[in-house]
Structure 1
């Protein structure tokens, strides 16, 4: 069997056609026809109040940090087992990051441990929906509302996932999505989306998005000229990126169905080994839905994880580990004041979690080969 890569971006066949349209529309700089179509897709399909395309999920998070008015000395609670952008977006505003542990049975932030981390300096909670599986948003929102805190959902991996029927990214004050090439749908390699779920922030979000100007209002004919009115940056992506994404969004139901089928094949093929205690399969709380973004195993220790990845590589299978705990990073150690927190569950996922190949074009027999190879390893 040919080598099975970890990821392969899926092309519907319409991407270059729409990109051609964007080029010859002579509106390349963004906020044109395809930008508007993508934004409206998310607003209509998921009921998000206002959606703004960004160049990445990192940019969406940075916009959210500005909109939350995070200032030097403010504290932001973030899970340690996440991508660096979840924290860095707030560090850039001068915030002090307070890292939280994951659940023992789930890489998501442990909602029961959040309140103990809150001080009079806390301003934002950042739940990260790992693998597209929802955090316990009722608990998180109740804590945030009681302490008058903002909630920024890092939904980078969570497109088309729900919490108790509510679309992720639409529960907190803000939701941030990624269209990187490793995600279920992509905007040509990079891209993101900011969802503004609190109407108080909609006007300012557009201004920050347009480099601190009220240009979006000018283009809509709401003002007769535009100028510099606030902070901001070049968060708006090229129209070509949105054209690429639009082709993907048109086929999202098909893409999602295939990814979920692969996920279910892995789960059914590996649960006998999990029942014997060789590893732990992904945890799916009853309040969460599965969007087929990622399939992972949690091995018993680091040595076993290392040997499994090496073995699968020998079989031509691209399996990888994922995040390292951010609270143990060189940057955090060098800038943090006080004791480094002890977060054993985050560290266990950093040492023991392995991701299996997951992409639209992964064939049924290829997924079975991955399953059989894991069975062979554990013999």
Structure 2
């Protein structure tokens, strides 16, 4: 199912600052991206070209020309932001690749170049300390004519990206791994994970990038002979990469206006925590019309939209339990006045501004605004008064 963004919603999305773009002002995201690109240029001794493309793309370029199936769940408006039946806000920077490949049809000689496509992507995502609805990505595609590119070159590419993001000189215990993954526009797809140490000392694997050999059908879709052309494709989440490099635990800090935080986002040195504001938690008992609506990404996006500029005050929106009406005690069904098919969803809201402390009254008002947006029941449980 598709729903379309209103003009105010579209303008709001397009107004979000692209931290990877120097034209919008300096930021550490740009420094990290420059190190990644420089590392790959050194590895291959080839030039790099950066493309900054319009975030409004043809739906066909975002999906069909990259090999996505017609019924792929990511096409649904629950996950993507559609503007019209044929235009959308890109859900990945790979959406710029088909048009780029089209420009290479006239290349008849030797060709070997790294293409860099950075920018914001637009998704409906969960609310927590590592996800936002407009993350930064970069697609790094090495395209070569009259030459082979294979698993060895892909492995070297992954190693170079890890070294650029987490240099061994600064992170001597860094470890990484590649595991098989399927992508519609690559062959021999891989997921690149790095082993990181959490503040509590525990170690866990986190995804850093996805990559693979450029699929022959994607090349052929732009009129390029797949017997003559080859490519490597890697997509990197710039927000997560920067958080790993600087040891930042909350993605909201990347856009913080706190002077002590902003000053630390002009370099790639380890982040020095600024005094954290206390958390305020509020639990919500929601009634939704179907189990499918109890989706963290869907509810997170609705909450962000409801709060507008105040969305930055929300640190997390966590689904704690989902219970169909048929599994609830009769007293609860009557109290909530649940209709057949509806579900009771318990949600924990974590509020934590980055630069001040919320009052209880402010927290209650924010809680009620989210509750009124998400709740589908006939009984309201408001607390702000």
Higher-helix-fraction structure: 1
Same fold (TM > 0.5): no
TM-score using structure 2 length: 0.29
TM-score using structure 1 length: 0.30
Higher-strand-fraction structure: 2
